[in-house]
Amino acid sequence: MSYYKVTHSEGLFGEVEIQGSKNSVLPIIAATILNSGQTIIKNCPRISDVDNMIKILSALGANCRFEKNILVVDTSQINKNMITDNAVSRIRSSVIFMGALAGRFGSARITYPGGCNIGERKIDAHLDAFSQLGFGVTENENIYVEGRITEDKNVNLKVKSVGATENAIISSVLSDGRKIVINNAVKEPEIVSLCEALNKMGADIKGAGTSRIEIVGVRKLHDSEIEICPDRIVAGTYIAALCGVGGSITIKNIGSDYDKAILENFYKLGVNYKFYGNELDLKCAKIRRPLEEITVSTAVYPGFPTDMQSQLMAVMTTRAVKGIIVENIFENRFTNVLMLKKMGASIAVVSDKIAFISGVTSLKGCSVEAPDLRSGAALCIAGLMAEGVTKIYNPHYILRGYEHIDEDFRKLSAKVEYMEE
Ligand code: EPU
């Protein structure tokens, strides 16, 4: 059985480069279907979620190959619009293939998507967006989306949803002269990077990063090269770890407009930061008085991301006297509480939205199981903070989104090893 062995850290020191963004590349991989040709995706993270997207594309008839971190996708030979591959139930982003297949072929048939067990993860807003665009939608054991966009459309997304925004955009791109307006779109950087990629492929999309996105449909896309941006959640995970154990680190390729909600909340917990061009220097004292009280609520961008909530909770267990977390996005995202408590944390979950953390002096290392991707990363942080050694089982969850969390932490002078028993 494999696990991550995490040894107590006396502080993080060193430099790290951040892998390409998972949540940026996954919809872009689905969107390659819109171009009946070759798309080159640079800085593509080698993670299992990407492998599953490639499996689905290959099952559809696409040709995909990796050269280090460059993914070359040729979708010209795709001859199916139906996905029943097991990989669909393993990954949430498979739902984005619906928009891509419907956009290119005028029909898509797919089994229900899976993903981390962090909430109900409905797809009603995706299907409603397809209906508003004029597609016919039928649900039984599979989902069928059929039709073409034949007139201008004004879509009002019924939920603030990253995936539904992506599906609405992707299914509209090839609408050949129609003007599509998508209202109530989310503003996440991953939406901006998807639209930039599609525009590079020949689409005409304006307004990404605002709640109103305008698309003028084009007839076809063309071959292009896309560069995936650094993963803000992976970077945030290392910032959280620094906050947990102290030290001084440099995050190298992060850009100068890194997520302010992440920086501001860890600043309150003692992390000082300064940008030098494309790099971010961060410092945090190892020994300091815990912050009296801090409340953090998750929200859509530009709010504090739900994907950083588990890591923040791990840090709060010793770095705040009283911490309150309000989880507003998913109903089942306090999955790491049991494991953190096993390590000595004092946490009371008072509803599926609210958790109270009472700071303790220290955590203690033990064997824990990662319950999902971000909770797994949070347990790595808790392991660095804890006395002794922590073994984190179920490493496959972490490998869904972190290319090499162990190597990255070693670059930052910590001892995190991938072990096989
Ligand atoms: N929702 C609905 N109906 C829908 C769609 C969503 O009610 O049709 C609800 C969800 O149940 C949830 C909320 O809306 O309560 C937000 O869900 P959203 O659709 O925005 O999430 P997603 O697209 O499934 C992406 C990321 C998640 C990230 C969320 C929120 C990808 C592949 N996944 O999921 O990333 O947490 O947005 O930012 O982009 C992760 O990386 O660990 C991860 C879970």
* Residue 109: partners with Cβ closer than 8 Å, 6 or more residues away: 81, 82, 83, 142, 143, 144, 145
How many angstroms does the Cα of residue 374 sit away from the middle of ligand 1?
14
Tell whether ligand 1 has an atom less than 6 A from the beta carbon of residue 92.
Answer: yes
What is the average per-residue pLDDT within 68-87? 90
Q: What is the pLDDT of residue 116?
A: 60
Radius of gyration of the chain (CA): 21
Tell whether ligand 1 has an atom less than 6 A from the beta carbon of residue 401.
Answer: yes
Q: What is the pLDDT of residue 316?
A: 97
How many angstroms does the Cα of residue 327 sit away from the middle of ligand 1?
13
- pTM: predicted TM-score of the whole model, two decimal places: 0.97
Name the pLDDT band for 115 (thresholds 50, 70, 90).
Answer: low
Candidate from 81-85, 242-246, 288-292, 372-376 with smallest mean pLDDT: 81-85
383-416 per-position pLDDT tens digit:
999 999 999 999 999 999 999 999 999 999 999 9
pLDDT exceeds cutoff 70 at 220: yes
What is the average per-residue pLDDT within 244-266? 96
CA distance 180 to 171: 10
What is the average per-residue pLDDT within 323-337? 95
Helix or strand run (H / E) with residue 282: strand 279-284
Helices assigned H by DSSP within 359-399: 373-385, 395-399
Name the pLDDT band for 79 (thresholds 50, 70, 90).
Answer: confident
Q: Which atom of ligand 1 is nearest to the CA of 163?
A: 23
Name the pLDDT band for 349 (thresholds 50, 70, 90).
Answer: very high
Tell whether ligand 1 has an atom less than 6 A from the beta carbon of residue 116.
Answer: yes
Helices assigned H by DSSP within 32-161: 48-60, 87-90, 96-105, 124-133
**Which active-site residues does the annotation give?**
116
Q: What is the pLDDT of residue 82?
A: 87
Which of 22, 95, 156, 162 gets mutated to test ligand 1 (max ligand atoms within 8 A of its CB)? 162
Q: Which atom of ligand 1 is nearest to the CA of 23?
A: 39
Tell whether ligand 1 has an atom less than 6 A from the beta carbon of residue 164.
Answer: yes
pLDDT exceeds cutoff 80 at 118: no
What is the average per-residue pLDDT within 95-110? 95
Is the Cα dihedral 210, 211, 214, 218 positive or negative?
positive
CA distance 258 to 277: 11
User: Helix 260-268 to helix 232-245 angle, to the nearest 10 degrees?
Assistant: 10
Q: What is the pLDDT of residue 113?
A: 76
Name the pLDDT band for 97 (thresholds 50, 70, 90).
Answer: very high
Q: Which atom of ligand 1 is nearest to the CA of 123?
A: 8
Closest by CA position to 230, among listed 212, 252, 215: 252
Which of 117, 127, 159 gets mutated to test ligand 1 (max ligand atoms within 8 A of its CB)? 159
What is the average per-residue pLDDT within 28-42? 98
Q: What single-letter amino acid sits at 326?
A: V
Residue nearest to atom 22 of ligand 1 (CA): 163
Residue nearest to atom 5 of ligand 1 (CA): 123
Strands ordered across the beta sheet of 279-284 = 12-16, 247-251, 279-284, 271-276
Q: Which atom of ligand 1 is nearest to the CA of 401?
A: 41
Q: What's the mean pLDDT when you consider all of the chain?
A: 95
What is the average per-residue pLDDT within 8-26? 98
Tell whether ligand 1 has an atom less than 6 A from the beta carbon of residue 159.
Answer: yes
CA distance 296 to 327: 8
Q: Which atom of ligand 1 is nearest to the CA of 127?
A: 8
How many angstroms does the Cα of residue 365 sit away from the middle of ligand 1?
32
Residue nearest to atom 25 of ligand 1 (CA): 162
**Percent with pLDDT over 70 in the chain:** 99
Provide the β-strand partners of residue 142.
Answer: 111
Q: Yes or no: say if 397 and 116 are a contact pair by the CB < 8 Å rule.
A: yes
Q: In the chain, what are the helix, strand and coil shares in percent, each to the nearest 5?
A: 35, 30, 35
19-29 per-position pLDDT tens digit:
999 999 999 99
* Residue 122: partners with Cβ closer than 8 Å, 6 or more residues away: none
Name the pLDDT band for 84 (thresholds 50, 70, 90).
Answer: confident
CA distance 197 to 48: 22
259-297 per-position pLDDT tens digit:
999 999 999 999 999 999 999 999 999 988 889 999 999
Q: Yes or no: say if 340 and 301 are a contact pair by the CB < 8 Å rule.
A: no
Residue nearest to atom 24 of ligand 1 (CA): 163
Closest by CA position to 42, among listed 85, 7, 71, 74: 71
Q: Which atom of ligand 1 is nearest to the CA of 124?
A: 8
How many angstroms does the Cα of residue 49 sit away from the middle of ligand 1?
15
* Residue 320: partners with Cβ closer than 8 Å, 6 or more residues away: 269, 290, 291, 292, 293, 294, 357, 359
What is the average per-residue pLDDT within 139-167? 96
Name the pLDDT band for 87 (thresholds 50, 70, 90).
Answer: confident
Is the Cα dihedral 78, 80, 83, 87 positive or negative?
negative
CA distance 8 to 362: 11
Strand intervals (E) in 271-327: 271-276, 279-284, 291-297, 320-326
What is the average per-residue pLDDT within 65-71? 97
Name the pLDDT band for 89 (thresholds 50, 70, 90).
Answer: confident
Residue nearest to atom 42 of ligand 1 (CA): 307
Residue nearest to atom 37 of ligand 1 (CA): 162
Q: What is the pLDDT of residue 142?
A: 87
Residue nearest to atom 7 of ligand 1 (CA): 122
